[in-house]
Amino acid sequence: MVDPSDGPADLVDNAVRVLNAWRHTGESGLQFHVNEAGDAYYTSGGQIRFLARVPGGFAWPSQP
């Protein structure tokens, strides 16, 4: 559930999307990056791996 006070809904959705994608990787923690195209990605085992589309960035929800 998105609380309007958390920020614009599309940016909160981006944050939730990347958190869910990270959880799906099974990695205990990772550093991720966002490229100019709005793709969140991380590197694992020398491979670049896609996490989620996050155009416009993030607004972090108080309750993911």
In a domain, 58, yes or no: no
What is the model's pLDDT at position 60?
A: 75
All residues at 6 or more sequence positions from 6 whose CB lies less than 8 Å from its CB, including other chains: 12, 59, 60, 61, 62
**d(C-alpha 57, C-alpha 32), whole Å:** 13
Q: Give the per-residue pLDDT at 4.
A: 60
- In this structure, is residue 63 part of a structural domain? no
**Does residue 32 sit within a domain?**
yes
CA distance 41 to 9: 22
30 pLDDT tier (thresholds 50, 70, 90): confident
The model's pTM: 0.79
- Average pLDDT of the chain is 87
pLDDT tens for each residue of 33-52? 999 999 999 999 999 999 99
The domain total for the chain is: 1
Which pLDDT value is given to residue 38?
96
